Amino acid sequence: MVVNKCDLDLIALANGLLTCADLGYLLLGKAIHCHILRRGVRFDLVGTTALIDMYSKCKHLSAATNVFYRTDAKDDALFNVMIAGYLHNGCVFRAIETFCEMVAMCVRPNTGTIISVLSALSDMGDIRAGKCVHGYVFRQGLEANIDIANQLITMYAKCGFIKCARRVFDRIKMKDKVSWTSMMTVLVNHGLANEATTLFGLMQRENQHPDAVTFTCLLQAVNQLGSTTNVFIIKDYRVVECCSGITSRAAKTVFPELNMQD
């Protein structure tokens, strides 16, 4: 289109940048950016977001940052893509700073951004910053978001705050399979096998069907307890029937009692 001297509108330019971002074509992305500057095209926020995304995914973070801070009117999409860019390039502290800047400007982050920030803080073990993000989530009434709540459980667990993780879990009104399995995993990993098996029973009473991951977690709990009588918890709930063949065979290898016929 450029060779044929066709005028490119904002949609075509933004789509070109997004394609370069997905394919990692930095030079072509730069060429599109130069074309925009030469033609004096006034990019809107959608195009600017695509430009930052392209530079971030092509690991040219300095260029992405320059575009971001030269943009006066920043919306939630622009902040979200910049935070994602920092995290994509391993700049966690810069991502947290940008998140705080976003909140200070009363720009509401989306669910994906909050989850990404919490995940990064989990890996860092930064419980202080994690609690600050949790406080923001609470004030904004976002604890009801099941994906955010599940990530909070993981964050507290990785930082060693089991009681905090349990409080978040208990406040979830509509728990999904991930919620139950995450909390069971937390308990098992911290040697609380009895509580994990109790939680499994509650999960069953809520008519939540366990999957292979839940079943594997339950096996670890039973193994920690070291009591073969607990194996029949598994048979009573017929978990073996709903799990993958590999997981079931592993269970029967560890616990021969499961080979008994119904």
Encode pLDDT of 199-221 as tens digits: 988 998 888 888 888 888 888 88
Residue 227: the pLDDT is 58
Higher-pLDDT residue of 131, 3: 131
pLDDT over 60 (residue 170): yes
**Average pLDDT in the chain:** 84
Tell the residue number behind the tokens 């600017």, with chain if given: 48
The structure tokens listed for 99 are 């998140």
Q: What is the model's pLDDT at position 243?
A: 44
For the stretch 37-43, contacts whose Cβ atoms lie closer than 8 Å and that sit 24 or more positions apart, written own/partner, are: 41/10, 41/13, 43/10, 43/13
Check pLDDT > 70 for residue 84. Answer: yes
How far apart are the C-alpha atoms of 35 and 17, rounded to whole Å? 12
- Res 195: pLDDT: 93
Res. 99: pLDDT tops 90: yes
Please give the average per-residue pLDDT across 163-168, as a whole number: 95
* Residue boundaries of the structural domains of the chain: 175-262
Of 3-17, 20-34, 67-81, 165-179, the least confident: 3-17
pLDDT at 81: 95
Residue 185, classified by CB atoms within 10 Å of its CB into exposed (0-12), middle (13-18) or buried (19+), is: buried
Tokens of 7: 């005028």
> Residue range 166-172: average pLDDT?
94
Q: How far is CA 194 from CA 97, 179, 221, in A?
A: 41, 18, 7
What average pLDDT does this structure show over 149-166?
95
d(CA 178, CA 182): 6
Task: Please give the backbone phi and psi of residue 191, each rounded to the nearest 5 degrees, phi first.
Answer: 75, 20
Q: Which of 86-90, 230-234, 253-257 has the highest mean pLDDT?
A: 86-90
- Give the pLDDT of residue 222: 82
pLDDT at 210: 84
Is a pLDDT exceeding 60 seen at residue 21? yes
Q: Is 90 exceeded by the pLDDT of residue 233?
A: no
pLDDT for 152 beyond 80: yes
The pLDDT, as a whole number, for residue 180 is 94
Amino acid 250: pLDDT: 43
Residue 7: the pLDDT is 62
Q: What percent of the chain has pLDDT over 70?
A: 83
